[in-house]
Structure 1
Amino acid sequence: MIFARSTNFNNNQIQQNYKKLHKFFLQSYTFLPTMYIQKLVFLTACIGLSTCNRVYVHPFNLFAFNKSECEKVQSQNHTIENMFIPIPIESKMKGEDKSVKVKTYQETRQLGTSESYLTSLMNDLGFRAFKQWREIYRSDTVLISCTNLYGSLMSFYLGASEHTSTSLQDFLGFGHPSGATNCSSQVNGLKVISKLKIIDNLLFSKNANIDALKTTCIFVSPSLSLSEKFVHDLTSSADHFYVRAVDFTDSVTAINLINKFLETQLAKKSKSGLTSIDVTSNFMYTSHIQFKGKVSKSFLIPELQHFWIEPNRKILVPMISVSGVFQFKEDYTSNQLVLKISLSENDFLLLVQPTNGNTLENIESSLTWDTYLKWLNSLTNRYISLSLPKLEIESALNIQDLLTNLEVSYLLGKDADFSKISNANIKLGKVINTVHFELEDSGADPNEAQDDHKNKEEPLKLNFDKPFIVAMFEGSTKALLLLGRVVNPVNII
């Protein structure tokens, strides 16, 4: 859809200008036939009008099917032609492994409208999800990956048909601007997956202080055949991608086999293993994000330090110390302090801690994307001596629970149509997103880990020794990688 917006012109003005031009040409070029004069006047008016116009293309159209793609989609029958049966989870046949290692690279080109549009949709879903999960885990640490959540749901959109496809598209924020329902009003999932990969590459930028890995697994019942195209389209969405067959009807054995498989394939052993399974399902999806960051020029304080989980309850935890210039703001009106910590050229953390009797719940209740933008735009440089806990947090969250709380469980429910995944009826079980996040010191020498400002001003001493909000951003797009609440710095849920 293309919207033309004119500036300084309306229909009356256009008609008046046309009449003036017509009169001018009649007086000046009486030797020309009237027909040619009219054409010349019309062409001149159009050129003048076009120079005063600016054309706006809605970002939706950057992701929608174009005409040729629609023709291809409509010419295809609704039966999947190329199918395969995944190998058993117990199989040791490395040669037939459905794992794909995708090389991560740093995207250097300037980001466009499509990435910015997609980022806003992901951030919006991330905040909606966090609001729901913080209600479920009200007194616990909870951490979500906004990009992984969005990517997981988009993966199912690739396999969805009919009403499920439309519903997922709307839920992901891709409702057509005009409300149209034809082919060109549908989002091309592959385009979205491609843009997600670009944003992922920026978010997972690798340097000496960053280590990140994404592993996605699909587990299906034995003899359930899957679409080769569906699996192929998803392989580039993760660093490692696996498809395995497991018998869900024997729940105890299935749980043990899946946990053992994940322990083998994940670089960092997961501490929040699978504890239950739906024996009536035949399809299960897991996506695991592992992220380790280091705070530059920091060191680990030799002794364990106090961290106040509650006003009257404290525990001993390892703490990191670092001195330097940080972007910071203490808001005495809202009773909170905000601190930005750079982890790499692109990635940074934003920590928010309540002050003066304010509570984490109070800050979270009004948390929106606009709130974060205001915080980011209000930060100023300040020389700070900082202490914060060394973090090791793992959250394993079932997306099905989120959809139930949002009253849209039908999106991945028993009546959902996933006929692009298999010719058989897909009975979807758990859809799990796991985040394993670690924040460490860089191993600097305590005697040398000082900033040049140490002789110019006294540092402001900050100690993050009580619960706080943590968000991780990619600097170019301001996309949210992680969003959560730290109640216990070493916590598994």
Structure 2
Amino acid sequence: MMNLQTILLYLAACISFSVGNRVYIHPFNLYAYDKSQCVKIEKQNDTTNIEKMITPIAIESKIVPKVENLQGRISLETKQVEIEESGKLRYLTSLVNDLGFRTFNAWRKTHKVDTVLMSNTNLFGSLLSFYLGASKHTSTDLQKLLGFEDPLGNCSPRVDGLKVFSTLKTIDNLLFSKDDNIDASKMACMFVSTGVPLSEMFVHNLVPSADEFYVSAVDFRNPLRAIDAINEFLKARSFKISRYALTSVDASTNLLFTSYVYFKGKVKNSFIVPEPQDFWIEPNKKISVPMMSLCGMFQFKSDNDQSILRIPLSENDFLLLIQPNNGNTLENLESSFSMHSFSTWLNNLANRYISVSMPMLEIESSYDIQETLSTMELSSLLGKNADFSKISNVDLIVGKVINKIHFELKDGGIETNQAEDFSPNKNDMKPLEVKYDKPFLLVIFEGTTKALLYIGRVTNPVNVA
């Protein structure tokens, strides 16, 4: 029999051999097609032949079925995140966050005083939808914008969009808790000119990207009628009665895309302040808004430039509030707002006994991705020369690509006299009073992956008409 020392030496040798022979796999390759598939994709990019087409029903039709009811739906069910999937999750999360910050920094520059709120996963999903239908230079350019860069430079359209959608769905499921504190839904719609056929495979591949997905035909030759028809269509199917900002359509357009996200969250252990409170939307201008209050131990940091507070919304979801201090401006905070600064803020937080007052939020925010790409000097990406021959055998001219959010953050519904039940017993300590009564930055993120669902600037807590 081998003695204990021999056994230990043998195990050590096995472990060393295993570690020494482990092959590093670049995260890009977790989403890439293999070599044979890559060649096939390259051939597909050289042709506009689409085997099976569908023709969308006119928007005026009283019966407009959801695309999810069509046969041949491709299901991308989210599986439990296993160890081998964690690399894919971390990599895609970093790409989603990076694109979100780049786009937010471009958008905020053109809306310097407005409340702006962006969903990173929704933005990424909208652009990924077009990537699935892109060919040739457009496929390469969209892949680069999304952040997928082949480390070997072998094959530009190597990313399998369905794999990406599957992991993006996993991120959303991690972010959206299953408890009663958060309610979230997503609807996506594609509008094409009357008579324009679409690839059935392309349409079916987009179905899992939203809770509800619609495709309809619109006569864009009459822009005013098209605007009214689209707004009425969207309003009738929204998760929340909302206003829509579609005010213009180019008559040369034959494709328009919209994505609508509804989010309603409750701040646990909070209660409504009895009377509306002042919120200073400008240094010399205030409005009265409903406020909520909560007291307890929170992660907090305050210095000369800003105060940062982390509040749990549920087991996985967290709210981060960033407010300028001592004459610092929101614009200064935004100019340095990045994934690096976000990570630094989180790492510097410490537990503090705090009494928080903050406004209840009801915000509608929408933007045209086309305009934002123009601000980023990428206007040609979805422009008239873009190649979307995997969507249709008709040359497509993409008009507006609208991402819209209806966002609500309310109190937890407890009575004022119950608030003490949720606070630590701090008879010998007075809580630090923290009040959010002026514009601030807002982030909602998932605690394990640090995936950012929303980033934004709140200058008016209630901007819904």
TM-score in terms of structure 2 length: 0.91
Q: How many residues end up aligned between the 2 structures? A: 444
8 A contact 1:206–1:212 mirrored in 2? no
Q: 2:154 aligns with which of 166, 180, 187?
A: 180
Residues 88-487 of structure 1 mapped to structure 2, 5 A cutoff: 88-93=58-63, 96-99=65-68, 107=80, 109-110=82-83, 112-181=86-155, 186-332=158-304, 335-450=305-420, 451-487=423-459
Pairwise CA distance, 1:189: 1.1
Residues 8-27 of structure 1 mapped to structure 2, 5 A cutoff: none
Give 2:427's aligned amino acid. N
Give 1:173's aligned amino acid. G
**Which consecutive unaligned segments of at least 5 residues does structure 2 have?**
1-14
Pairwise CA distance, 1:98: 2.1
User: For 1:169-217, what per-residue CA distance to the aligned partner results, in whole angstroms no more than 9, with x for missing partners?
Assistant: 11111121133336xx611111111111111111222311100000000
User: For 1:369-428, what per-residue CA distance to the aligned partner results, in whole angstroms no more than 9, with x for missing partners?
Assistant: 111111111111111111000101111100001111111111100000000000000110
User: 2: distance between equivalents of 1:63 and 1:340?
Assistant: 33
TM-score in terms of structure 1 length: 0.86
The equivalent of 2:28 in structure 1 is: 60
**Which consecutive unaligned segments of at least 5 residues does structure 1 have?**
1-46
Give 1:115's aligned amino acid. L
Give 1:277's aligned amino acid. V
Pairwise CA distance, 1:97: 3.5
The equivalent of 2:11 in structure 1 is: none
My pick for the range that moved more, 309-318 or 409-418, is 309-318
Pairwise CA distance, 1:345: 1.1
Pairwise CA distance, 1:107: 4.4
Pairwise CA distance, 1:331: 2.0
Secondary structure of the residue aligned to 1:56 is: coil
User: For 1:242-262, what per-residue CA distance to the aligned partner results, in whole angstroms no more than 9, with x for missing partners?
Assistant: 001111111111111111111
Secondary structure of the residue aligned to 2:418 is: coil
Provide closer, same or farther for how the CA distance between residues 232 and 440 of structure 1 changes in structure 2, counting only shifts above 3 A: same
Give 2:132's aligned amino acid. L
Pairwise CA distance, 1:454: 4.0
Give 1:393's aligned amino acid. I
My pick for the range that moved more, 246-255 or 459-468, is 246-255
* % same residue: 56
8 A contact 1:470–1:484 mirrored in 2? yes
User: 2: distance between equivalents of 1:198 and 1:378?
Assistant: 28
User: 2: distance between equivalents of 1:349 and 1:69?
Assistant: 42
Pairwise CA distance, 1:482: 0.5
Give 2:100's aligned amino acid. G
Pairwise CA distance, 1:92: 2.0
User: 2: distance between equivalents of 1:360 and 1:75?
Assistant: 50
User: 1: distance between equivalents of 2:246 and 2:289?
Assistant: 27
User: For 1:123-161, what per-residue CA distance to the aligned partner results, in whole angstroms no more than 9, with x for missing partners?
Assistant: 111111111111110011111111111111111000000
Provide closer, same or farther for how the CA distance between residues 188 and 51 of structure 1 changes in structure 2, counting only shifts above 3 A: closer
Give 1:136's aligned amino acid. T
User: 1: distance between equivalents of 2:411 and 2:39?
Assistant: 55
Pairwise CA distance, 1:75: 6.8
User: 1: distance between equivalents of 2:249 and 2:180?
Assistant: 39
The equivalent of 1:35 in structure 2 is: none
Pairwise CA distance, 1:456: 4.4
